[in-house]
Amino acid sequence: MTSLVFYFQVHQPFRLRRYTFFDIGASDDYFDDAENERILRRVAEKCYLPMNAVLLRLVEKHQGKFRCAFSVSGTALDQMEAWSPETLNSFRRLARTGCVEFLCETSHHSLSFLGDEDEFRLQVEAQAQRVEQLFGRRPTSFRNTELIVSNRVAKLAEELGFAAIMAEGADHLIGWRSPHRVYRPEGCDTIKVLLRSYKLSDDIAFRFSNRGWSEWPLTAEKFASWVHGLPEEDRFVGLFMDYETFGEHQWADTGVFQFMEHLPEAILENPRFRFETPSEVAASTDPIARLDIPHPVSWADAERDLTAWLGNAMQRAAHDEVYSLGRELAQVAANRPDLVAAWRRLTTSDHFYYMCVKFFSDGDVHKYFSPYASPHDAYITTMNVVNDFRRRIAALAQPAAPAASR
């Protein structure tokens, strides 16, 4: 049997407001809640709610034979709870079917595996508890921010009890090997790595509406024929993509919702194929070999590395300052959960992504997602917030003034 594993990433950051030099010392209002609410509601209307309804119909229509998985960042969950509880309820309805798995990630979609491993563990454990509370099952599969994996990340996930970790099937990582097999990361004893089939995933996520693509229009039957033509020894096909593919990146009028409505039936016409969740594949399949991942591999940009977030001096400086701030905060404000919560929002990787200065198609993608006029504006805004935050921490560290004697 060969399984299709659909995994969808759901994430919304807490974007910063236009925080200027003149706000430092005058305002601790860092986040643009009006804009964050507007975007969350727009994406919920265009993507989350209609696509969740499609998936629920597919599960019911195929009597559980259609299965899929999500990872929903903690910041996205925060925004749903605050501004679109009906969206969160629609995800919970999917969870109750027993056919939809919810993965774990860092609670704040952060690069904490690089900045502070203790913080990484705290964020992962917080997210695992929240997923269990909201969706009824403690996650056993892990997806690091932006699918970033290395031998070290895999070992950390294994130590935290996960049975599977998701990764990009990048050419420079797997070489001649197939992304459709299960592997074990080098240095690990139990965890298994499931790879993204980037060509088939991107046919849906990026090329679906491209009229210049030689395979346009993409129908469910055509896509199913490609899958059915894969070698019989292929164990699974990892179709991993941003959930906003549906309705936001690929608009409804492209036919992407209808494509998904018909795809399971087209796939299941061949009895060799089925749908499974990541944990189901990991539980039933032994790894065929070890996979050495000495350097972090992601699913972002052409390089499939960390340069989307840490590729220039601005990004690296801002990242270092945010984690330096966290260490200072831990010394003086352990009893200030409001400050810790605000700082964790600063660890979200999107803040560094907006500072990317790449050109060509990758640069266009960064510009599409950025709320700033330029990468430099993103850097200045972030560093202004960091500087104000540091002033607040310094004020907390000052000893209280003695009471005046009478």
- Active-site residue, from 101, 105, 119, 146: 146
Q: What separation in angstroms does the CA of 346 have from each of 16, 128, 319, 340?
A: 9, 20, 9, 10
In which band, very low, low, confident or very high, does the pLDDT at 365 lie, cut at 50, 70 and 90? low
Considering the four listed CATH numbers 3.20.110.20, 3.10.290.10, 3.40.50.300, 3.20.20.480, the one that applies to the domain covering 2-291 is: 3.20.110.20
pLDDT digits over 100-156, tens only?
A: 999 999 999 999 999 999 999 999 999 999 999 999 999 999 999 999 999 999 999
117 token code pair:
């491993």
101 is annotated as an active-site residue: no
In which band, very low, low, confident or very high, does the pLDDT at 95 lie, cut at 50, 70 and 90? very high
Q: What does pLDDT average to over the chain? A: 94
pLDDT digits over 213-224, tens only?
A: 999 999 999 999
- Burial of residue 379 (number of CB atoms within 10 Å: 0-12, 13-18, 19+): buried
Torsions phi, psi of 184, nearest 5?
-120, 125
Over range 365-379, report the average pLDDT: 83
- Burial of residue 333 (number of CB atoms within 10 Å: 0-12, 13-18, 19+): middle
pLDDT of residue 401: 52
Model confidence at 199: pLDDT above 50: yes
Model confidence at 317: pLDDT above 90: yes
pLDDT of residue 359: 65
pLDDT digits over 34-76, tens only?
A: 999 999 999 999 999 999 999 999 999 999 999 999 999 999 9
Other beta carbons within 10 angstroms of residue 166's beta carbon come to: 26
The model's pTM: 0.94
337 token code pair:
């959960």
In which band, very low, low, confident or very high, does the pLDDT at 301 lie, cut at 50, 70 and 90? confident
Handedness of CA 307, 312, 314, 319 (dihedral sign): positive
* Residue bearing tokens 């690929």: 250
383 token code pair:
């560093």
Tell me how far apart the alpha carbons of residues 199 and 201 are, in angstroms, rounded to a whole number: 5
Cβ pair 74, 14 in contact under 8 A: no
Give DSSP secondary structure letters for 278-329: HHHHHHH---SSEE---S-B-SSTTTTSSHHHHSSHHHHHHHHHHHHHHHHH
pLDDT of residue 363: 45
Tell me how far apart the alpha carbons of residues 112 and 126 are, in angstroms, rounded to a whole number: 13
Handedness of CA 198, 201, 205, 208 (dihedral sign): positive
> What are the residue ranges spanned by the domains of the chain?
2-291, 307-395
* % of the chain at pLDDT higher than 70: 95
pLDDT of residue 360: 45
pLDDT of residue 281: 98
Other beta carbons within 10 angstroms of residue 6's beta carbon come to: 25
Amino acid, single-letter form, for residue 315: Q
pLDDT of residue 396: 86
Cβ pair 54, 260 in contact under 8 A: yes
pLDDT of residue 379: 97
In which band, very low, low, confident or very high, does the pLDDT at 358 lie, cut at 50, 70 and 90? confident
Cβ pair 310, 352 in contact under 8 A: yes
Enumerate residues 6+ apart whose C-beta is below 8 A from 404: none
